[in-house]
Amino acid sequence: MSCSSPGGMIVAVCLLMGMTAVAADTDTRDGDAILRGVWLRFPHETVTLTGTLSVRTRRGTVEKMVPFELLMDGAGNPAQAVYTIRDTDGRITERMTVVRRGEEPPVYQFSRGDPPRDEPVPDLNLAVDGSDITWMDLTLSFLWWRGSEVLGKADIKGRPCHWLSVKTPDSLSGQYSRVELWIDHETGMLLQAEAFDAGGDRVRRLWIKSFRKIRDRWMIKDMEIESYPRLRRTRLRIDDLAVQPQPDQPNE
Nearest to 138 by CA among 204, 89, 185, 87: 204
Helices (H) and strands (E) in the chain, counts: 2, 14
What is the set of domains in the chain, with CATH numbers? Answer: 11-242 (2.50.20.10)
Kindly give the residue spans of alpha helices, DSSP state H, lying in 89-200: 135-139
Contact 194, 202 (CB under 8 A): yes
Burial class (CB in 10 A: 0-12, 13-18, 19+), 152: middle
Tell me the mean pLDDT in the region 158-170.
Answer: 90
Residue bearing the bigger pLDDT, 249 or 207: 207
Instruction: Give dist(CA 13, CA 191) in Å, integer.
Output: 8
Q: Which residue type does 107 have?
A: V
Distance between CA atoms of residues 235 and 138, nearest Å: 11
Please report which confidence band the pLDDT of residue 217 belongs to, taking 50, 70 and 90 as the band edges: low
Find out whether the peptide bond into 105 is cis, omega within 30 degrees of 0: no
Q: Dump pLDDT digits (tens) for 99-143.
A: 988 777 789 999 999 999 999 998 888 888 877 788 888 888 888
